[in-house]
Amino acid sequence: MTEVFNPKSPDDQAVVDRARLLVIVEGTNDIEFLRRISLTLHAVNSELPNLAEMEQQGQLIFVPFGGNNLPSWTHRFAALGKPEFFLLDHEVSPETESRQEAAETINQRPGCRAVLTRKRSLENYVHPDAIRDAGKIDVTFGDFDPVGTVVAKALFESGIADGPWELLSRRSKGRLTSRAKRWLNTTVASQMRSELIEQRDPVGEIPSWLTTIGQLAHSV
């Protein structure tokens, strides 16, 4: 099953018809994170859904919307008549406020639920121990720090660099940060044992997202 689909395509329409739920996230990195974290949590609590398995069975479709022009996505799939779950990064003001408004709009629709992460993005839920285990680097960051950039800088400086991070071009920094985000949501997320998830998410946000997804998938 493809990660990006076109409901007007006959093949993709057949996939949509079989699916119980659309899980709408900002990008493919978020999909990778949710697949891996849900697998880990499902292994210790079978009541929490394994999203990768649900996807493989055609029960849900991940839809990455790119993180831009969110208001245009609040009703985009309404005609499909499927439950929808939106997971939105908190980001920082004033972007936070616009996302909260969009979430309120979505939550007024029957069978739809939108939540904002309490931390800046999904990378902020990754544990520094998992980063150290995967990349042999030590980093510290807060709930609203740009973790992708923090880790990209640390990875750059851990190698043989011709100069300091600060002298890199904006384009080079962006490219390295993009690679770091992908690595965090794949390799590092796979290193996240259940106890590390609990340490980074003591209020249980992630299990609550998974619980809601499971409930929406079984509401039809």
DSSP conformation letters of 40-64? HHHHH-TTS--HHHHHHTTSEEEEE
- Tell me what pLDDT residue 36 has: 98
- Tell me what pLDDT residue 90 has: 95
- Tell me what pLDDT residue 28 has: 96
Angle at which helix 170-183 crosses helix 28-44, to 10 degrees, equals 20
Q: What CA–CA distance (Å, rounded) separates 42 from 187? A: 18
Residue 26 per-residue DSSP state: S
Flag residues of the chain having pLDDT under 50. 1-3
Cis peptide before 202 (omega within 30 of 0): no
- Tell me what pLDDT residue 190 has: 97
Residues 147-172 as b or e (16 or more Cβ within 10 Å = b): bbbbbbbbbbeeeeeeeeeeebeeee
Residues 178-204 as b or e (16 or more Cβ within 10 Å = b): eebbbbbbbbbbbbbeeebbeebbeee
- Tell me what pLDDT residue 211 has: 98
- Tell me what pLDDT residue 1 has: 36
Domain ranges across the chain: 10-118+203-217, 126-190
HSE-CB at 77 with a 13 A cutoff on CA atoms is 27
- Tell me what pLDDT residue 143 has: 97
Q: What is the CATH number of domain 10-118+203-217?
A: 3.40.50
